[in-house]
Chain A
């Protein structure tokens, strides 16, 4: 048991300065990066704050970043040339420059920030800006060689020390001539591909790689391949046919595909169900498939996949879909949980302040999401429609004012269909001997 966790709020430190260029003019609306320098004696670094607006210079070139933990920092603006896609729009960019005017990290002046301290005049002088470049290309159907409009284009940055290039979302689609153009590239190696990520892509392609040295690149050709499809039927275990039809409406089947090789381009798509439970998901890339089932719209029901079959044989999640070979005839068997967790929360040695609230959540082993709700004023709660399995039930106590914290409360419980599992929490509110 862990207790006496005190949350101490301390005043954060502040760093401010001005960014100017070689002509002493202010550099407006550039992002300022803070790099905390790791301290070997205090390896745990608290997270850097949330407010993104303060990391940008204003019309005078001035930035002011506050709420910082004490420590040592380097402060810089700009991009190093190998960072890839630098800006949306054909803006010029500044080479990465550290306070006061160093282009190499080793020559940067380190800013020491005490707890609640202020570091002022942390100015940065950048040298002249450099061009970014554009890439122009077109998409054709790999079978007919005709241009295709309206497909999404994705980009990859190939970094020297990584096996898998990282995708970058461009929001770009090919125009009515099948062409696309994207600006803002720094020198480097890149790939372009037809993206079927998220909903609605019918095509995908393998990446076409290109290099940017000191000129715009034109003529990048992407050969789009019609996406693969998964089709089959969804049934609901253990319900009568007429109940099933009502339950099937509002369900959606999703497929998430991870590539087995090549660039780390994931794909996913989903489909609603026809009245007879059949579905077809299109536009998928080859790779390993995970199937999911969810309800569209708000619903308290929680469907889960009991098993997946193909041609009478069981299929496990992560089955492979291969290029040119769509899969049909899948059977997805779904059940709705009908288990319940019913519980009570009791406080001893004191009472909770008025205006405090208690929440309960439960999570099934192996599943990323949880269910839950608020504990009522008598200390009771009920969580319905749970699938069978082992659960961890946890409490969260919310106080209106800062308070001596209560250690986290968790319990394990097993849930089966059509039955209630009981759980009781007893929390001791009495102050400890020799406390603060």
Chain B
């Protein structure tokens, strides 16, 4: 044990000349054979934080966080130009975001509804907006309603499209005049709710209204609530006439929880979801201290889904219960017993096929740990095959029907997608850099020896998981030599493009028409600009057309929907606009006409 007067320790005082002393200190440390002071990795991510006018946001803080485990997320303040640089990063996949009081991230027009991910060496521009404000007075029979919680539930996006499930903003309390103010709202349409239990945990202020049913703007139950539309920079007034409505209770118990050895056991969280708009009304918890019982109070009449989940920190696993539907109609509901069980997982590995002749891949050695793999749940098309029963849709929570899990591979290329509710999943790997294209996604034999139902062609048919099923042996293969395309869809003379245009590439070679990995698509931006990457070399037909949606307001994806795929193939075959890609070829400034002029052969 060293004494404190040791010269090495004195180095940690006296910051002004610190860097000079530091080099001296390291030289003085006794270097044993075991001393490991590993070199810092040299990767950096740089960027800028700006507002919607493009001006730098001084005072913002940028966050760069790695996906996968191990290294911590890093933060740094931006400089006078709104710029930041975070160094010392290992190869991997990163999320980049920023925060600034009074600002929110600008909505991303992302075709796959997922945030952007970055690699070491990328430069990121983060745009922030102030958002909208909804404010108003909550008054009841006896005057203003003070210190009651109000929250805004986003039910439509900024284009008016209904969200697959509603998102609740943070709660704000009314002041002594009954006035509430919710700021920093992403543009869209909202329901405003006052009163009722706090969303999470205990009360922020003791309120006489804690056990009431919530009241929706302007003064109603959920059925007749009005939506409030707010745009960026707008302030909208929404006064609420409050009534004290008692509501009813839903109670029960949770079973199947994992006990812990070292601590008192982890509890479970139970969510109460309104079936109609798929918003979470309340959460509560159950633990050993109350014999795993739970109760919701002040629940208005309606149809709900309850589901319980437990998070186990040691291995970041979730256990979830099969969701239960409960109808509250004028009476308390008791005896709802939920049992949590482990979720499913898919393990696999990445294979990278290099092609030295092509030679357009950067950072070959770190390709594995820079690859992010997604598993996306979807409802497969019902195939009416003779003699087989139609697949029974497994029961998952309303908010899990489009569940996504992700995993970053390790240096050896292994990845595990965890915590998957039962259902059918598409495996969507993201190439680590522009030079790779996805050649195949195949499932091998199950380790248990039982034959897997379902095809090995995971790219076309997806993987279907039973509750808690553990699948392994998935192989994702990337090949070097991808091409890319940048260009613009042009409208006919004097006309503008319809909204939500997309570009599609379909294989021109007959024998490739069954290979879904030869079909590509991307959304055009507001000006018709398109960018497609990681394209497998070959001959294609290209077509620009408006997106199509299925009934759940999700865009039809050409790799997932065989009927849509056949139609687009047929349309582009008639159009006969062909394009070829050689390995590593980059095409820029490509003009893609849309409309009647497009049928004229070039």
**Partner-B contacts on A (CB < 8 A):** 12, 14, 26, 28-30, 50-54, 58-59, 64, 66-67, 89-92, 129, 131, 142, 144-147, 175-177, 180-181, 183, 199-200, 208-215, 217-221, 223, 272, 296-298
Interchain residue pairs with CB less than 8 A apart (13): A26-B102, A29-B102, A51-B204, A67-B176, A90-B75, A129-B59, A180-B72, A183-B75, A208-B9, A211-B15, A215-B18, A217-B15, A298-B291
| Min distance, Cβ A63 to any Cβ of chain B, angstroms | 10
By the criterion CB–CB under 8 Å, are A221 and B12 in contact?
yes
B18:A90 contact, CB within 8 angstroms: no
Q: Is the CB of B102 within 8 A of A146?
A: no
Are A131 and B18 closer than 8 Å at their CB atoms? no
A77 CB to closest chain B CB (Å) equals: 13
- If A29-B101, A210-B12 touch, whether A59 touches B22 (CB-CB below 8 Å) is no
Residues of chain B contacted by A297 (CB below 8 angstroms):
264-265, 288-289
Residues of chain A lying within 8 A (CB to CB) of residue B133: 59
Taking a contact as CB atoms under 8 Å apart, the answer to whether B261 and A272 are in contact is yes
Whole-angstrom distance between the Cβ of B213 and the nearest chain A Cβ: 21
Q: Which of A54, A145, A199, A218 contacts B35 (CB 8 A)?
A: A145
B59 pairs with A131, CB closer than 8 A: no
List the A residue with the shortest CB-CB distance to B171: A53
- In the assembled complex, the Cα of A183 lies from the Cα of B173 at a distance in Å of 30
Q: How far is the CB of A132 from chain B (nearest CB, A)?
A: 8
Contact residues of B between 467 and 517, Cβ < 8 Å to A: none
A217 touches B18 (CB 8 A): yes
Q: Is the CB of B70 within 8 A of A212?
A: no
Docked CA distance A215–B1 (Å):
30
- A385 → B minimal CB distance (Å): 17
Q: Does B77 contact A (CB under 8 A)?
A: yes
* Cβ-defined contact, B183 with A59, below 8 A: yes
Complex Cα spacing A176 to B70, Å? 5
Given contacts A89-B99, A175-B72, 10 further A-B contacts (CB under 8 A): A28-B101, A28-B102, A66-B176, A90-B77, A129-B59, A181-B72, A217-B18, A218-B22, A219-B12, A296-B264
Q: Is the CB of B288 within 8 A of A64?
A: no
Over the window 96-131 of chain B, the binary record of Cβ atoms lying under 8 Å from chain A Cβ atoms (1 yes, 0 no) is 000101100000000000000000000000000010
B302 on interface, CB distance cutoff 8 Å: no
A64 contacts B13, CB within 8 Å? no
Known pairs A53-B204, A144-B34, A296-B264; A215 contacts B16 (CB<8 A): yes
Contacting A at CB under 8 A, from B187-205, are 204-205
Min CB distance A247 to B, Å, is 18
Asked whether A211 lies within 8 Å of B14 as measured between CB atoms, the reply is yes
Contacts A199-B263, A200-B262, A296-B264 known; A51 to B147 CB distance under 8 Å? yes
**A-B pairs with the 4 shortest C-beta distances?**
A28-B102, A66-B176, A28-B101, A29-B101
Contacts of B25 in A (CB 8 A): 219
> Between A and B, how many residue pairs show CB distances below 8 Å?
116
Interface string of B144-181 (1 = CB under 8 A from A): 00010000000000000000000000001101100001
Residues on A with beta carbons closer than 8 Å to the beta carbon of B206: 50
A266 to chain B, nearest CB (A): 18
Q: Which residues of the partner chain A approach B77 to less than 8 Å between Cβ atoms? A: 90-92, 131
Contacts of A145 in B (CB 8 A): 32, 34-35
User: How far apart are A155's CB and chain B's nearest CB, in angstroms?
Assistant: 14
Give bound CA distance, A312 to B257, whole Å: 42
Whether the Cβ atoms of A175 and B71 lie closer than 8 Å is yes
Chain A residues lying within 8 Å of B75, measured Cβ to Cβ, are: 89-90, 183
The residue in chain A whose Cβ has the minimal distance to the Cβ of B99 is A89
Q: Any chain A CB within 8 A of the CB of B74?
A: yes
Instruction: List the B residue with the shortest CB-CB distance to A297.
Output: B288
Q: Is A215 a contact partner of B175 (Cβ separation < 8 A)?
A: no
Known: A26-B102, A51-B173. A181 touches B74 (CB 8 A): yes
CB distance from A61 to the nearest CB of B (A): 9
For A209, the chain B residues whose CB sits under 8 A away are 12-13
Cβ of B76 < 8 Å from any Cβ of A? yes
Nearest B-chain residue to A118, judged by Cβ: B176
Cβ of A214: which chain B residues have Cβ within 8 Å of it? 15-16
A211 touches B61 (CB 8 A): no
A298 nearest CB across to chain B (Å): 6
B184 on the A face (CB < 8 A): yes
A96, chain B: closest CB distance, angstroms: 18
Query: Complex formed: what's the CA distance from A14 to B147 in Å?
Result: 14
A219 to B290, CA, bound (A): 47
How far, in angstroms, from A6 to B272 measured CA to CA in the complex?
43
Q: At the interface, yes or no: B382 with Cβ under 8 Å from chain A?
A: no
* A52→B14 contact, CB < 8 A: no
Q: State in angstroms the CA–CA spacing of A89 and B72 once bound together.
A: 13
Q: Check B38 for interface membership: any CB of A closer than 8 A.
A: yes
Contact check: which of A52, A142, A199 meets B1 at CB < 8 Å? A142
Given known pairs A218-B22, A297-B288, A298-B289, the reply for A213 and B15 (CB within 8 Å) is: yes
Among B16, B101, B204, the one with the most A-chain Cβ atoms within 10 Å of its Cβ is: B101
With A and B bound together, what is the CA distance between A362 and B133 in angstroms? 52
List A contacts of B101 (CB < 8 A).
Answer: 28-30
- B290 and A298 form a contact (CB under 8 A): yes
- A213 to B16 Cα, complex, angstroms: 7
Give bound CA distance, A308 to B264, whole Å.
24
Q: Is the CB of B9 within 8 A of A219?
A: no
Complex Cα spacing A29 to B263, Å: 36
Minimal Cβ-Cβ distance residue in A for B172: A53
With a cutoff of 8 Å between Cβ atoms, the chain A residues found around residue B147 in the complex are 51
Q: Does B36 contact A (CB under 8 A)?
A: yes
Contact residues of B between 203 and 239, Cβ < 8 Å to A: 204-206
Q: Give the docked Cα–Cα distance between A219 and B291 (Å).
A: 48
A55 CB to nearest chain B CB (Å): 12
- Is the C-beta of B11 less than 8 angstroms from some C-beta in chain A? yes
Whether the pair A210, B13 counts as a contact (CB closer than 8 A) is yes
A-side contacts of B102, CB under 8 Å: 26, 28-29, 59
User: CA of A53 to CA of B558 in the docked complex: distance in angstroms?
Assistant: 48
